Amino acid sequence: MNDAHIVSNGKHAAVVKAQRLEQVLSQATDKPHVILLGGHPDPDAIGSALAHRRICERLGISATIAHVLPLSRGENRALVKLLGVPMQQIDRGEDLSEYGYLSLVDASHPENQVQLPQGIELLTVVDHHRPKQLPKAPFVDVRYDVGATATIYAEYFEQGLAPLSAEGSEDSPVATAMFFGIQTDTDDFANATPTDFRAAAYLKSFCDSDILSRIGRRSISAEAMDAVGAALADLEVLRDFAIAGVGRVSAVNRDAIPTAADFVLRREDIDTVLVYGIVDDRIDGSLRTSRASVDPALFMQNAFGTDSEGRPYGGGRADMGGFQIPLGLLAECDDEESLWKLVKELVTKRVARVVPDLEKKIAKD
């Protein structure tokens, strides 16, 4: 019962999709379900997972939300904490052996960090990214014309599949997470489509406005703020490109690096920024760009190449714009200052392959 991919075609398609999802789920009540999130779970994935779980619950199916990589970013941790999102972190495929059915939200292919157990069947896929290959599953709804997966789930709700109700506050955590997912995935609605706006308007009246504004303030950790300060002090700007090193960052606050990159990107005269530091025994960095012609994965591959097994150091689906280069034996160096000097030199030299004149510029300063 493979479902052909249907491109969204207004209201009718949404009704058909909602009915089809209900049908597929109701025929799979014999074994427990798991919703597996890819990468570091983001608000759209979390909101969509809650929506999917809610639909399952209405059909009398128990569904668990699981993820492999930890939550990164303060705002995502705040979202999970304030809304009491039930999520389970797993580290091995065997942790999923009790489940019979797998649902993916905001991703089309299962996380490759874990090997899925044999007995598990991919049942549903709902996503808004363009996959290399459409997944094979009884229910597939992949749309490229919406800005968030939560938009698609909001449509299912609106079309009568587990509609939200104003009674009590039971529905507010799921509505709030979904709204925040649409908000973050569309860059605060700047890139929202009419469908995203409609979905957000539908969800808004069920949201907890108080929690929404608290999460929306996007508080950042003290270490991330220090990293922003270090990035500003080290910032080199070459035309519309900026690069900055932040020194050592602790592993739990690894997201201080992308946070600093996001902040620097707001400078009005640049459109691409690379921020890097040392985390544990590796160089860790983030590339952010607002220019459509810059492909972060390609930029990093051209700059840093691949490891001895031919794998690129960065640009994976799980961490778009991120890269990690192991320091190898150098990591044992006790002299932090010399180590940092070496790291800086190496990164500058490599990035200069993509940004000519960078070395000259840094040497001159």
Site string for Mn ion, 306-335 (x = CB under 5 A): ------------------------------
Nearer to Mn ion, 159 or 184 (CB): 184
Residue burial 327-345, b: 16+ Cβ < 10 Å; e: rest: beeeeeeeeeeebbeebbe
Would you say 143 and 157 are in contact if contact means Cβ atoms under 8 Å apart? Answer: no
Query: Residue of minimal CB distance from Mn ion?
Result: 44
Binding to Mn ion by residue 141, rule CB under 5 A? Answer: no
CB of 182 to Mn ion, least distance (A): 9
Residues 6+ apart with CB under 8 A from 321: 258, 261, 286, 287, 288, 289, 296, 314, 315
Is the Cβ of residue 137 or residue 152 nearer to Mn ion in the bound state? 152
**Shortest spacing between CB 44 and Mn ion, in angstroms:** 3
We find the least distance from the C-beta atom of residue 150 to Mn ion, in angstroms, to be 8
Q: How far apart are CA 192 and CA 263, in angstroms?
A: 22
**Least distance (Å) from Mn ion to the CB of residue 246?**
27
Nearer to Mn ion, 185 or 284 (CB): 185
How far CA 269 is from CA of 70, 74, 240, 259, 290, in Å, comes to 34, 27, 6, 19, 12
Note whether 44 binds Mn ion by CB under 5 A: yes
Residues 96 and 254: their CA atoms lie apart, in Å, by 27
Told to check if 185 binds Mn ion by CB under 5 A, we report yes
Q: Does 196 bind Mn ion (CB under 5 A)?
A: no
Q: Minimum CB separation from Mn ion for residue 147, in Å? A: 8
DSSP string, 151-189: HHHHHHHHTTSS----SSSTTHHHHHHHHHHHHHHTTTT
* Residue 106 makes contact with Mn ion by CB under 5 A: yes
For Mn ion, give the closer residue by CB, 111 or 284.
111
Nearer to Mn ion, 52 or 282 (CB): 52
List contacts with Mn ion (CB under 5 A): 44, 106, 149, 185
